[in-house]
Structures are given as C-alpha cells and as structure tokens.
Structure 1
Amino acid sequence: MGSTEVTILGQKYTIKGDASEDHIRGLASFVDEKLKEVYNSSPGISPLKAAILASLNIADELHKLKEAQEDITKNIEERANALTGLFD
C-alpha cells in the first residue's frame, strides 16, 4: 500500500491506498474541481456545506451513470434475447 500527497482547495492530504498515484491524483483533482464549482456558485459558503453539496453533486452524477448503465445492459439483454429467439 502506497501513499500519495494531493492538494484539495489548497490543503495537502496524504492518501494511502492500493490504487496508482495517477488514479488517486485524478480523483483528488475531480473532487477539487467539484468543490471549486460549489464555491464559485456560492461564495462565502462554509467548507462543510461546500463539501456536502459537492458530495451530493458527485453522488448525483454516479447515480445517473448507474441508471444509464442499467438501461444499456437491459437493452443489450433484450436484443440478445430477441436474436436468440430467431435461432429457435
């Protein structure tokens, strides 16, 4: 397990984990960008509220992507079943 130093909103953090440094830095950069978006749209917001709003934005993106993936998987399964039915 390695450790990677990242900066989020000017604060340095040491992240320990099995993921590559590039992956961890990419995640930190993504979180940093989301926090900056919140700060830019709501100047003067407290760090805790900014973190919660950024987390909700990230969770919303994840939820939408999971729904889209489920829809695609369902569509593929339906088409595969239809094609399989042609061979019966």
Structure 2
Amino acid sequence: MSEEAPRTSIRVEIAGEWYTLRADADEEYTRRCAALVDERMSAVSEQAGVTAKNAAILAALSLSDELLRQQSRVEDRLRALTARIEAELEGLD
C-alpha cells in the first residue's frame, strides 16, 4: 500500500477573509496559490461596485483564461516537437 503525504492545514488570507485550507501540497505552494487568488481578487475589486462574489468569479475567470492559454501553448509546442521527432525518425529509415 502506498503512503500518501499528510494533508496539512494552513490559514491564508484572501480578499480580507481568513480561510483554513487542507492541502496535500506543501505549505509554501499553498500560500503562493492563495496569494495569486488574493492578487487577482484585489485587482478586480478595484473596479467600483464589484461585490466579493463577483470579484471571486472574475478572478476565477482570469485564472482559468491564463491556464487555458498556457495549456494551449504547451500543446502547440508538444505538437511541434512531436513533428520534428517524427521527421528525424523518418530520416533514419
């Protein structure tokens, strides 16, 4: 049976609210994730009339957009590298 890393509890502040998170990741990584969410929510909250709920949704959309764009770049690069490898392998035949 494989041993799982212990889940750690960590308190983080996001948009002025404190949250206790239980995470498999190490504490520093979890704090970095929380800080990124806090930064995005703060940036969105600077707009007049944005509620906390809307700020959270807009921050999530911003982070999702960034993630999907990065995934697309990685997939494009992987396709290009795969094509190069296949071309090199064909040249060996």
Task: State the TM bucket, normalised to the shorter chain.
Answer: over 0.9
CA–CA distance in 2 between the matches of 1:34 and 1:43? 15
* 1:25 aligned residue (31, 36, 39): 31
1:73 maps to what in 2? 78
Shift of 1:76: 0.4
- Give the paired residue count: 87
RMSD, matched Cα: 0.8
Q: Which runs of 4+ in 1 moved over 3 A?
A: none
Within 5 Å, give how 1:38-49 maps onto structure 2: 38-40=44-46, 42-49=47-54
CA–CA distance in 2 between the matches of 1:66 and 1:18? 23
Matched, 1:16 2:22: yes
Shift of 1:6: 0.5
Identity %: 34
Gap runs ≥5 in structure 1: none
Partner AA of 2:72 in structure 1: E
CA–CA distance in 2 between the matches of 1:3 and 1:12? 13
TM-score by length of 2: 0.90
2:87 maps to what in 1? 82
Partner AA of 1:66 in structure 2: Q
Partner AA of 1:43 in structure 2: A
Aligned to 2:68, the other structure's residue is in SS state helix
